[in-house]
Amino acid sequence: MRLLSLFRQAFSEPFATGSDYRGATRIAVLYHTKPARSKTAVQSLHRWLIVTAALLLAGTVSANPLNVELRKLASDDSVNLSSVYGGKVILAVNTASKCGYTPQFTGLDKLYDEYKAAGFAVLGFPSNDFAGQDPGSEIEIADVCYVDYGVGFPMFEKIHVRGANAHPLYRSLTEATGVSPGWNFHKYLIGKDGQVIEQFPSQVRPESAVLKKAIEQALAK
């Protein structure tokens, strides 16, 4: 992070004529070294700094997508997902109350019950991003989850899961896999170390052998 800070500090000005050398000089001053004197050396320094900063930023984004604060559904209580669920295998699912896939709540709850003793959790995130299929208030959504389907796994506040307004959790999940949710009940499997293992589209049901195998392999690590 120190190098990233230096990079931003040194090159806060546009790369206009003469700024290459000024940027290199400022980096050199910060490191208490002599500035590069040739144009080639300065260009090489630029490339090295840009690549290094990009790698640092990538590492920061993918370090732990669960390191976010979210409210529990229809509640004022917020939790840090990493603090509460760190060290567990997680299946993150964007849910909706009025979708053809809504009955997957039942399968997801069975999946949670089957593996929770081994260190597994399903985390649900209501979203109205797809065809307006979760338009209700959080209290109405909670009724569907807890009353209609008897959901026992944790549900959280209503969020956006794609696009410019996507919650940081889903931005991280999308960046880690290269795939954003295509519809309601898209699933991301996260390992005990907080790294995203795999993603599964809505059509992959909770009782799918492929999904169960991936969960069991993650739990065995």
Q: Which residues are catalytic?
A: 99
Residues 166, 179 contacting (CB under 8 angstroms): no
Convert 187-197 to b/e letters by CB count within 10 Å (16 or more is b). Answer: bbbbbbebebb
Cβ contacts of 146 within 8 Å, gap of 6 or more: none
Strands (E), 55-138: 69-71, 78-80, 89-95, 120-126
Q: Which of 73, 53, 63, 65 is nearest to 171 (CA)?
A: 65
Nearest-angstrom CA–CA distance, 88 and 72: 18
Cβ contacts of 142 within 8 Å, gap of 6 or more: 73, 74, 155
Radius of gyration of the chain (CA): 22
